[in-house]
Structure 1
Amino acid sequence: MEQTFKTAAVDATKLKQRPNNKYLSDLYGLYKQATVGDNTSDRPGMFDIAGRAKWDAWILKKGLSKEEAMEAYVNLVKELKGIYGMD
């Protein structure tokens, strides 16, 4: 699964189009959960809008195991490749 995950991470950067914000949030949260684990950091301040969005995306994946997060990430990238195609 580890190699499949790494391949999916590379594939995610080769989509023909940038995914919408919902997909980007899901990709970010799943990637962080798979590579770091549960988010234990404090939420960024209210003026760090991008940081807060990333924190929120990651915290939503809290509790997923590394393997579950990797599998969900791989499946999401497969879905995005079907929607957006690859370069």
Structure 2
Amino acid sequence: MGLKEEFEEYAEKAKQLPENTSNDDKLILYGLFKQATVGNVNTSRPGMFNMRDRAKWDAWKAIEGKTQEEAMNDYITKVKQLQEAASS
């Protein structure tokens, strides 16, 4: 299985993470997913009254410069960590 297929598999698994997954972890996954699928941030930062989208944008911006392959690998690793934490 190639990296892209494995990434897509773990993107599906991420949807089944428990409800109590922290917002910080969700933001990390969001940033890695966007970097892996889109690349560097290509939009302007949302306004200060749009806190949710602003946090998501910041999470994506924080990993700017990672290659798409690095982001895919990091995403897979993070989902595995969260799955292990949820099952223990």
Could you say if the C-alpha distance between residues 55 and 34 of structure 1 is closer, same or farther in structure 2, counting changes exceeding 3 Å?
same
Q: How far apart are 1:16 and its partner, in Å?
A: 3.2
CA distance in 1, matches of 2:33, 2:11: 8
1:33 aligns with 2:35: yes
Of 54, 60, 70 in structure 1, the residue corresponding to residue 56 of structure 2 is 54
Higher relative contact order (CA 8 A, sep 6+): 1
Looking at structure 1, the residues matched to 71 and 13 of structure 2 have their Cα atoms a distance apart, in angstroms, of: 17
Cα distance in 2, alignment partners of residues 16 and 24 from structure 1:
11
State the 1:15 CA deviation.
1.9
Taking the aligned partners of 1:37 and 1:74, their CA distance within structure 2 comes to 17
Shift of 1:79: 0.3
Q: How many correspondences in the alignment?
A: 85
How much identity, in percent, do the aligned residues show? 42
Aligned partner of 2:18 in structure 1 is: 16
Q: Which runs of 5+ in 2 are unaligned?
A: none
Residue by residue, what CA displacement relative to the aligned partner does 1:2-53 show, whole Å, maximum 9, x if unpaired?
0000000000011233410110010000000000000031110011000100
Q: CA RMSD in A?
A: 0.9
Q: Summarize the Cα distance change of 1:41–1:81 in structure 2 as closer, same or farther, 3 Å threshold.
A: same
Structure 1 runs of 4+ aligned residues shifted over 6 Å read none
Question: For 1:46 and 1:65, how far apart are their aligned partners in 2?
Answer: 29
Using the size of structure 2 for normalisation, the TM-score is 0.92
